[in-house]
C-alpha cells in the first residue's frame, strides 16, 4: 500500500456512536419499512442509504426535510468516541488531509462537525447534498474535489456497504472493528486493513510510511 495522504471519514459508526432509532424512523416514514434492518445504527443507516439509492424518484422537499430532521436528531443524540479528536489532531499534524465524506445531509453533517468541534481538523466536507447521491458518491466527490490520489486515500467504515462503497470509489476501505463478531464477518470482504479504534490510525500510517521507506510493503 502506498503512503496515505488523505482519510475520508463517515461520522456514523466511525467517529461516533449514533442511536439507531432516528434512522429506523427514516426507513419507516419515508419508505414504509417496518422491519428493523439491523442492531447497530450503522447497519440501519446504510440500509436507509440503499433505500435512498434505489428509490425510483428523488425525495420530495417535505420528505427531504423529514430525513434531515431525523438525522439531526440522531446527531444530537450521538456521542463521539473519546479517542477521535486526539487522533484527528495527530493525523493532521502528520500532514494527513482529513475529509468528512458522508451520506448524511449537509445540515446533519454540519451539525455533527459543529457539535464536536471538528472543523479545525478538516480539509473539506462532502455530503449527499453536495455529491448528488449517497454511498460512493460523497467519496468520489471528495476524491475529485480535492484531487486526491485514490491509492493514497482511505475510507473508514464499519459496514459491508461501506467496504463496497470504498471499493467502487477506488479508495482503500479500512474496517473500524467496533463489534468483534461483525468485524470478523466483514474481514472476509477484503478490507485493506482494520483498526480497533481511531487512535490506532496514526500508528497505521506511520507503519506504512516506514515500510515504504524500507521497501517492505
Partner 1 sequence: MKKVSIYRPTTVDEAIQILSQHGSSASVYAGGTDLLVRLKNRLEQAPSYLVDIKKIDNLRYIKEDGQGGVEIGAATKLAELADSKLLQEKYPMIVEAITKISSPELRNASTLGGDLLQEVWCQYLRGGYSCWRNGGYLCYGAIGDNSYYHSAMGGRLCYAVYPGDAATALIPFDAHAKLATPQGVKELSIEQMVPGDMLVDGKIQSHVVRYNEILTSVVIPPPKPSVRASFEKLRPRGVWDFAMASLGISLQLNGKTIEDSRVVFGGISGKPYREKTVEAFLRGKTLNTDLGEQAVAVALADAAPLKYNATKIDMAKGLLASGLARLNA
Residues contributing to the site for partner 1 (CB under 8 A)? 1, 174-175, 177, 180-181, 183-184, 187, 191-196, 200, 203-204, 206-208, 210-211, 213-214, 216-217
Q: Which helix (H) or strand (E) holds 97?
A: strand 97-101
Cβ distance to partner 1 smaller for residue 61 or 188: 188
Cβ distance to partner 1 smaller for residue 60 or 86: 86
Residue closest to 160 by CA, chosen among 58, 50, 8, 71? 50
Cβ distance to partner 1 smaller for residue 31 or 204: 204
**CB 175 → partner 1: shortest distance, Å?**
7
Cβ distance to partner 1 smaller for residue 137 or 177: 177
The interaxial angle of helices 61-77 and 21-31, nearest 10 deg, is: 170
CA distances for 10 relative to 7, 30, 61, 159, angstroms:
10, 22, 24, 11
**CB 180 → partner 1: shortest distance, Å?**
4
**CB 78 → partner 1: shortest distance, Å?**
23
**CB 32 → partner 1: shortest distance, Å?**
35
In 78-200, which ranges are continuous DSSP H helix? 84-93, 106-115, 128-131, 136-145, 160-169, 180-186
Angle at 144 between CA 102 and CA 93, to 5 degrees: 70
**CB 193 → partner 1: shortest distance, Å?**
3
Beta bridge partners of 208: none
**CB 152 → partner 1: shortest distance, Å?**
15
Cβ distance to partner 1 smaller for residue 9 or 175: 175
Count H helices and E strands in the chain, helices first. 11, 8
Cβ distance to partner 1 smaller for residue 35 or 214: 214
Amino acid at each position: 500500500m502506498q503512503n496515505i495522504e488523505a482519510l475520508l471519514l463517515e461520522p456514523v459508526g466511525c467517529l461516533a456512536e449514533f442511536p439507531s432509532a432516528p434512522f429506523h424512523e427514516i426507513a419507516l416514514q419515508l419508505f414504509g419499512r417496518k422491519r428493523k434492518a439491523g442492531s447497530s445504527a450503522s447497519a440501519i443507516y446504510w440500509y436507509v442509504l440503499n433505500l435512498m439509492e434505489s428509490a425510483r424518484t428523488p425525495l420530495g422537499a417535505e420528505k427531504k426535510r423529514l430525513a434531515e430532521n431525523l438525522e439531526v436528531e440522531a446527531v444530537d443524540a450521538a456521542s463521539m468516541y473519546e479517542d477521535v479528536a486526539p487522533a484527528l489532531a495527530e493525523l493532521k499534524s502528520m500532514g494527513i488531509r482529513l475529509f468528512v465524506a458522508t451520506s448524511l445531509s449537509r445540515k446533519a453533517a454540519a451539525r455533527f462537525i459543529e457539535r464536536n468541534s471538528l472543523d479545525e481538523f478538516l480539509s473539506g466536507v462532502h455530503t449527499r447534498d453536495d455529491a448528488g447521491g449517497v454511498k460512493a458518491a460523497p467519496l468520489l466527490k471528495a476524491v475529485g474535489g480535492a484531487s486526491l490520489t485514490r491509492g493514497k486515500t482511505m475510507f473508514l467504515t464499519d459496514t459491508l456497504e461501506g467496504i463496497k462503497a470504498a471499493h467502487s470509489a477506488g479508495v482503500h476501505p479500512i474496517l473500524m472493528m467496533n463489534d468483534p463478531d461483525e468485524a470478523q464477518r466483514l474481514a472476509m470482504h477484503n478490507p485493506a486493513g482494520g483498526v480497533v479504534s481511531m487512535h490506532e490510525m496514526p500508528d497505521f500510517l506511520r507503519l506504512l510510511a516506514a515500510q515504504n521507506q524500507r521497501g517492505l510493503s
